[in-house]
A = this chain, B = another copy of it.
Amino acid sequence: MSGVTGIPTATISRLVTYLRILEGLEAQDVARTSSTDLAVLAGVTAFQVRKDLAYFGRFGTRGLGYTVPILKRELLRVLGLNQTWNVVIVGVGRLGQAIANYPGARDYQFQYVGLFDVNPALIGTGVRGLTVRHTDELRDFVGSTRVDMGFLAVPPERAQDAAQSLADAGVRGILNFAPVVIQPRTVERSGLQEIGDEWRGVIVENVDFLAGMKRLAFYVLNPDLSTTGPEEIEE
């Protein structure tokens, strides 16, 4: 990936959408697709599809389109989903347990290696074969176990502190399920406010847990604007 710069974040979100569409096509035994088909299913233009993919190489054949399993495999590789990710979950209430048990995460080789909470009633209990530990133990745990990402599933008022614990422990990727904005700690240096060292290189991705509800509200209100079904995409 070296040398690739300036890729819009929206492109990455769309790659995730294309991947999901390709998985759907594969489940329906569709062997080939085109930028036009992908565009219809993703609600964008065919030009956009081709432009998004072109950041990462040449995947299709002019006039023949894309082979579904090959393009899927390439997108898995581009997104880094062909490798194992060691994940800790911070917050093991209903949402954290739902995440730990969500079917599909294992298909992408997300491996839960540690569960953390501050609730004494949860600490020491077992979830999915893992023992819930106190969040205070995060740093020691990360010191002895490879942890690539932390998923935050704590109440909103605890999210900032829990994110700080992950950054302090040296976890480089944080996926925030709480409906709040996580801010890196700032420090004053030479009279300027700068991001604390422990936050350098930390990636925070926010999940808009309610995004689907909001899209659905629009389409229930405006059913004539809803997407065409996949059965209508054949040319």
Interface on A for B, CB 8 Å cutoff? 1, 4-5, 7-17, 19-20, 24, 27-28, 42-44, 78-81, 85, 93-95, 97-98, 101-105, 108, 110, 148-149, 151, 155-156, 172-175, 177-179, 181, 184, 195, 201, 203, 205-227, 229-230
Contacts and interface: CB of A to CB of B under 8 A. Distances in A.
Nearest to A221: B80
Contact of A16 (B1, B9, B17, B211): B211
Contact of A104 (B15, B179, B203): B179
Nearest to A208: B20
Contact of A181 (B15, B24, B101, B108): B24
Given A27-B181, A94-B98, A103-B179, A215 B205 contact: yes
A228 to B, nearest CB: 10
A81 B214 contact: yes
A20 B13 CA distance: 15
Given A219-B173, A220-B173, A210 B105 contact: yes
A203 B184 contact: no
B220 A108 contact: no
Given A43-B11, A214-B16, A225-B4, A220 B148 contact: yes
Nearest to A95: B98
Across the A-B interface, the 5 shortest Cβ-Cβ residue pairs: A9-B43, A173-B220, A80-B221, A207-B212, A95-B98
